[in-house]
Structures are given as structure tokens and as C-alpha cells.
A and B are shown apart, each in its own frame.
Chain A
Amino acid sequence: MIQAENVTKEFTVGKEVTSILKGVDLTIKEGEFVAIMGPSGSGKSTLLQLLGGLDVPTSGGVKLEGTALQKKNEKQRTIIRRKKIGFIFQNYQLLPTLTVLENIAFPLHADGKKVDPKEIEKLLQAVDLEGYERRFPHELSGGQQQRVAIARALIHQPAILLADEPTGNLDRERSSDILDIISNLHQKRGQTVVMVTHDMFAAGYADRILLFKDGIIETEVRREDEDYAAFLTRFMA
């Protein structure tokens, strides 16, 4: 479970203080797929960074499976991240001098852990990149690079996947491929997924959409099965 309690975040440049998050309360249950939507500058990416322990709030707190991240130092937060969280970014952030295989295995090497070839094989299959193991990032399309990034984010079997605009650099068809992969993996592995996006098409893959505006959650919408039947009737009417 991820919990944010009255989280604020301010950035100071010179004498000017800019308030990005203005008191966010949020609970994300284990295994949930949540999308955070909002216009540029609304604070959604900042919130994702706080949920993943990449930064700490100015006030309020973030708890990850009961651990208050703001009470941990940078080194401790890094250990928590390596163990529990997988990150996917808009610009893929692959290491250009490493092959697909090496990029995927990198989090394990960085953590001094052994690589399980079967797990790599399963992930390559899940992201449809079998046969691409020895290629370098510059030999891949944007969609393929993002699929490598997804496999890399999942190699250490994290409980939580945090994705910041994972389809932001992709066209609609490639976006569909990436979102299908994230959605299928979420269903099969039961990971908690939190995805920041400005794209309603991408957000539709979630169970719940949080609409962000000016540093607060303005409203939230969730898909409920009881409404689905009525929707289907209306859809065809």
C-alpha cells in the first residue's frame, strides 16, 4: 500500500517560493492500477517522485508499505527503491553502451544480485523482444526501447511500478502496444502500478484515474463493474 498524507512540496529559487503540491491525500492499495492525470505543471510528476522516494515532501508524509519515506535518508531510500520499486520514464533512460540484455539485467548487477536467465527470458517474451538481446538501444525504435525499459523496471520483481508519461514520446499505435504490455503484466503479476500521464487514452487502462489540478487532486474516477453493464447498453444504443 502507498499512502500520501497532506503532502506539500515547495521549490525555492532565490527568494521566490513555488508551491507545487498543496496538500495531497492519497491511498493506493496493493495491486491497484492508478493513473494520475493533469495539465503540465499541475504537480503530477512531482507527486510520483515523492511516492517513489526520489525526493521527500516539504511537509506531510509518504508511506510505502508502512515505511515513512521522509524519515529515511537518501541511502536508505535508495535501498527501498531498489528492492520495491520499478521506474519507467518518458525518455526510456537506457544506457547506450549496454545491449538490451545488459540494460535489463543492470538493476540486478548494480545490487550485486545474480541474473536468473529464466526470468530474463520470461520478460523478453512478455515485452515481445525475443531475438533482440544483443542489440544496442540506438538500433531500436522508440517503442522497442520503452519495452526494454519496462523489462528493466521489472527484473527485480518489484511490488510497485511507477511510470512517468511512459507513452509520451510514442505515436498512438506504439502507445497501445506499451499500455497493453503494462496492463497484461499488471494483471499477471499483480503489481501496483501508478502511471502519470497527460493522455486520456493511456489513463483509460487504469482502474482509477486521479485528476490533478494546481497541486491538488481535484477529483477521482474509478471503473466499477456494476456500472459496466449499463455502459455497454448505452454504448450500443
Chain B
Amino acid sequence: MSVKHSLLALIYEKPRHGYELKTGFEDLVESMWPLNAGQVYTTLDRLERDELVASPGHDKKDRKLYTITDQGKEELWSWLKQPVSRSLLKDEFYFKYLCASHIDYEDKAHMIQMQKQTMVKDVLHLTHLKKEMNQSGNQTMKMLVEGALLHLEADIKWLDMIAGK
């Protein structure tokens, strides 16, 4: 995940200071990914150095404010438009399965079953998270959870398929 671009998006929304960016980021990800202040300020320094953000001054409490530059907007649009390539075979379990098959690992069935159990537990957690999203009304995050559930369902179907071989 690109912290740099998520900070650019938050600054595009409105001028913000460092602490506001930290809390804005945590709101964006429903507090599921804590971001330490150090990472925010290091990223801001780099964004300012690359002229993607600029500081028009300080607020009443003397906190440095940041605004997005035209160059920053271009960088943000370019990032949003760029399709994401996925390396489908980088999943670690795929490699485990590959190696296990290669050496005719005798406990492969157990390995598949344990993987399935872990994924089924993730389905339970994700559905619980989705219910929480229903209550909080965060439709965007709910869509991300739906996407993750669809991926898991496909993975579990695949595990059933290889278990039957």
C-alpha cells in the first residue's frame, strides 16, 4: 500500500498538518492499519522535496500546513489511473504446494486441510468485519471486504479441487 499516495489524496481533499494526516489516514482505513507519526513526517519531507506538496504556512497552533501542488495532483491522477499487475503465483501457499508435489510429500492432504481451515476462519472474520461495516456505514470499506471474501471463496474452491486430485 502506498502511504505516499494516500497522504497526497488526503492533502488534495483539503490542506492538513501532519497530525491531521495521521488521523485522516487512520479514518480512511477504519483504524485497521496504525500509521506512526515518524512515517507521516518522513513521507511529508519527501513529498515536499519532490515538490508534490508545498507549505503555505502554519495554522493558529503553529502547526505546519501542507497543500498539494499541480505536480502533486498529476502524480496522484497518474497513480490512480495506473492498472495494478498482480503476480498470481507469488502466493506462498502455491509455492508450498509446488514443492510438496515435487517431493511427493506424504502429508500433502493434511497441509491442504490446514490451509483450508485457516481460510475458512478468515471467511468468518471477514464476514464479521462486513457486519461491523454495515453498522458503521462505510460502504467503500464494505466493498473491499466483499472483494476479499470473493478471493477467499475462489481460493477455498481451488483447495477443494486439489484435495480431490
Contact with A along B133-165 (1 / 0, CB 8 A): 010000000000000110011001000000000
Question: Most A CB atoms within 10 A — which of B123, B152, B153?
Answer: B123
A227 and B121 contact, CB distance less than 8 A: yes
What number of A-B contacts does a CB cutoff of 8 Å give? 64
- B29 cross-chain contacts in A, Cβ below 8 A: 236
Cα A231 to Cα B117 with chains together (Å): 14
A232 and B117 contact, CB distance less than 8 A: no
Q: Which of A221, A223, A237 contacts B117 (CB 8 A)?
A: A221
Q: Which of B33, B116, B125, B149 contacts A228 (CB 8 A)?
A: B125
B149 and A201 contact, CB distance less than 8 A: yes
A180 and B125 contact, CB distance less than 8 A: no
Binds B, one of A3-11, A148-156, A205-213: A205-213
Check: A124 CB closer than 8 A to any chain B CB: no
- B117 cross-chain contacts in A, Cβ below 8 A: 219, 221
Cα A231 to Cα B148 with chains together (Å): 13
Pick 22 A–B contacts, CB within 8 A, sort by A: A180-B131, A180-B134, A200-B152, A200-B156, A201-B149, A201-B153, A204-B126, A204-B128, A204-B149, A205-B131, A206-B124, A211-B116, A221-B117, A221-B120, A222-B124, A231-B121, A231-B125, A232-B32, A233-B32, A233-B33, A235-B126, A237-B33
> Which residues of chain B have a CB within 8 Å of any CB of chain A?
1, 29, 32-33, 113, 116-117, 120-129, 131, 134, 148-149, 152-153, 156
